[in-house]
Amino acid sequence: MGPFLKKSHSNPGSFIGRFLGVAYQPPSTQIIQMSDQCPVFAHFLGFGGVASAMILSTIGAAYGTAKSGVGISGLATFKPELVMKSLIPIIMSGILAVYGLVVSVLIAGSLSPAEPYSLFAGCTHLAAGLACGGSGLAAGLAIGKAGDAFVRAYVYQSRVFVGMLLTLIFAEVLGLYGLIVALILNTRITGDECNA
């Protein structure tokens, strides 16, 4: 029922009510009933999970990209032919932001003002967002520091490439751990906690 329909116009006996096929319901039945299991602030916790997953993982990705980019720009002045092979830290940093995006979209899909949302779901979504965002931030710091150091060393010694690749993979896995934990936490919510 749109906001332009008034109570008198939405009667089933009125023209608009018959045309739209809607029956008037008193406002008290349209409001979601809150309880101890489903308080008003539960949605706030869920949105905190959305924000923390996206913001923290993006900060980690931005730091990793910026720190590695400084090393790559220094490498480009000496050996420009090595720039393409040195972009691996930047690519891995960008993947961290995708992890945060996936978790944020999953959590945001569960949030609706028209459906009841339990305190358990809010706390679980907050934990999922913090797990993904915090691990993405830590992985971004590791990728940025290690990527910068290895790119600078790669100018002088090309044999460090395999070591750089392995180190960056293990740093990237830190962010993947947070994504896995967040996905597991998201599956724990059944949605019928408010009906108990």
Rounded Cα distance between 53 and 104, Å, is 6
pLDDT tens string 26-47: 555 445 556 777 888 888 999 9
Determine the pLDDT at residue 19: 57
Determine the pLDDT at residue 31: 53
Rounded Cα distance between 147 and 155, Å, is 13
What's the pTM?
Answer: 0.78
CATH topology of domain 35-195: Four Helix Bundle (Hemerythrin (Met), subunit A) (1.20.120)
pLDDT tens string 48-91: 999 999 999 999 999 999 999 999 998 888 888 888 888 999 99
Determine the pLDDT at residue 8: 47
The region of weakest confidence among 33-42, 43-52, 103-112, 132-141 is 33-42
What average pLDDT does the segment 172-194 reach?
Answer: 89
% of the chain exceeding 90 in pLDDT? 54
The answer on pLDDT for 17 being more than 90 is no
Q: How confident is the model at residue 103 (pLDDT cuts 50, 70, 90)?
A: very high
Higher-confidence residue: 128 or 157? 128
Q: How confident is the model at residue 25 (pLDDT cuts 50, 70, 90)?
A: low
Give me the residue spans of the domains in the chain.
1-31, 35-195
The answer on pLDDT for 10 being more than 50 is no
